[in-house]
Amino acid sequence: SQQGEEDPQALSIQEGENATMNCSYKTSINNLQWYRQNSGRGLVHLILIRSNEREKHSGRLRVTLDTSKKSSSLLITASRAADTASYFCATGTDKLIFGTGTRLQVFP
Amino acid sequence: GAGVSQSPSNKVTEKGKDVELRCDPISGHTALYWYRQRLGQGLEFLIYFQGNSAPDKSGLPSDRFSAERTGESVSTLTIQRTQQEDSAVYLCASSFGTGGNTGELFFGEGSRLTVL
């Protein structure tokens, strides 16, 4: 079974808008990671947040982590058409288990 | 090479045939992972290697699936007597793999398997 579940399953926005994706997980974690997958391609690592961190930034990405609620969010600010992709959260210790993903469509 | 390499990139086979999928991880990465992704779905964990050992094979769907890794490098995922439900993209990833604290995974582009 999946460790994480993303919400929403799909999201459509206009360029320039912000996109927020949420991830819930089930067990205790050491860290949580977010990945991006362009259609038909492999996954690319975006950002890793440790269990003792609450927020982390990388360029237009902002990730938050709430271990008490077992949830994380990924915010993409000032979205671009090139941000169109699927986004996955992933957690695990010896093996990384991925969530179900959010399909983001950014319209020019 | 600079990244994780998988071959073949595409494989079409007939039901009942065996297939082998290969993964060349990034040099020096001790951990190697196999995932399956059906069309429009998330990633399904299959197996991971730490060195040449596979501590967790829990994700392998059936005994038709097996994997090995040699020389702490190349890994092969073998599917015997393929079925149509095996059709999917098989993704390989590698990492430095510090036990108990999985770090960033580097993915290959996947092997797309179609079973007719």
Q: Tell me the per-residue pLDDT of B24-80, one tens digit each, with 9 for 90 and over.
A: 999 989 999 999 999 888 999 999 998 999 888 889 999 999 999 998 899 999 999
Find how far residue A44's CA is from the centre of its chain.
11
For residue B101, pLDDT beyond 80: no
- Whether the CB-CB separation of B92 and B107 falls below 8 Å is answered with yes
Residue type, A58: S
What's the confidence (pLDDT) of residue A93? 77
Picking from A58, A66, A16, the residue whose alpha carbon sits closest to that of residue A36 is A58
What's the confidence (pLDDT) of residue A2? 46
Q: Name the strands in the sheet holding A4-7, side by side, starting at the edge strand that comes first in the sequence.
A: A4-7, A19-25, A71-76, A61-66, A55-58
Q: Does A56 touch chain B (CB under 8 A)?
A: no
Between chain A and chain B, how many beta carbons pairs sit less than 8 Å apart? 62
Q: Hey, are the CB atoms on A88 and B42 less than 8 Å from each other? A: yes
Confidence of residue B99 (pLDDT cuts 50, 70, 90): low
For residue A1, pLDDT beyond 50: no
Q: Tell me the per-residue pLDDT of A54-84, one tens digit each, with 9 for 90 and over.
A: 999 999 999 999 999 999 999 999 999 999 9
Which residues of B sit within 8 Å Cβ distance of A?
4, 33, 35, 41-43, 45, 48, 50, 55-56, 91, 93, 99-110
